[in-house]
Amino acid sequence: MRFRTITYRPIGVIHSPFKEPKGTPIQPTAAPEVEGTVEVFPEFAEGLSDLGDFSHIVLVYHFHLSKKASLMVKPYMHDTEKGVFATRAPARPNPIGLSVVRLTKVKGNTLWIKGVDMVDGTPLLDIKPCVPEFDMGGKKKKGWLKENLKKLRETRDDGRFSGG
């Protein structure tokens, strides 16, 4: 079965200290103390009930500043092209991102988070609680990234996927 179009609407907006992609950390673990907030639109605020009981949440969002997708990309932390689905590059056929962040506070329709790797104004599509037993069971293989993970802390967006 083929789908022509699937449409989502944002449930909120992510606020961060990063005003453009260039210079932004490329993963939450590269920015463990970077703080931000998530503003959930009032009509979705009731859905935040009980979320404060979790230490970490998964934010699903739209890479609104990424440039046109390519099936082969030169990812951060590597010198050769890889298939886009073997990367976390933002320029994808469906520019959807996800980040596991630390939840520090919930008040009303605002979430305070740490581990921010998103640009200010990023449209939020969904929030899910992070449960390690659900999300990371079994043995983990890291593919081509295994040899490059040591570069994560200092690697920042260099503008290659946003045209900046």
Handedness of CA 163, 63, 43, 50 (dihedral sign): negative
43 vs 103: CA distance, rounded Å? 21
User: Is 119 a domain residue?
Assistant: yes
User: Is 142 a domain residue?
Assistant: yes
User: Is 157 a domain residue?
Assistant: no
Tokens of 99: 């980040």
Residues 6+ apart with CB under 8 A from 85: none
Tokens of 68: 């046109």
User: Is 2 a domain residue?
Assistant: no
86 vs 75: CA distance, rounded Å? 9
22 touches 157 (CB < 8 A): yes
Longest dimension (CA), the chain: 46
**Closest to 122 measured CA to CA, from 52, 39, 23, 30:** 39
User: What's the structural domain count of the chain?
Assistant: 1
Tokens of 88: 């976390």
User: Is 160 a domain residue?
Assistant: no
In this structure, what DSSP letter does residue 108 have?
T
CATH of the domain at 53: 2.40.30.70
User: Is 127 a domain residue?
Assistant: yes
**Distance in Å from the first CA to the final CA of the chain:** 37
Per-residue pLDDT of the chain (164 residues; tens, 9 = 90+): 788 888 999 999 999 999 999 989 988 888 999 999 999 999 999 999 999 999 999 999 999 998 888 899 988 888 899 999 999 889 899 999 999 999 999 999 999 999 999 999 999 999 999 988 887 776 677 777 777 777 777 778 788 778 64
User: Is 89 a domain residue?
Assistant: yes
Residues 6+ apart with CB under 8 A from 149: 77, 142
Q: Tokens 């449209």 belong to which residue?
A: 123
Domain hosting residue 18, numbered range: 12-151
The pTM for the full model equals 0.88
User: Is 97 a domain residue?
Assistant: yes
The β-bridge partners of 99 are 59
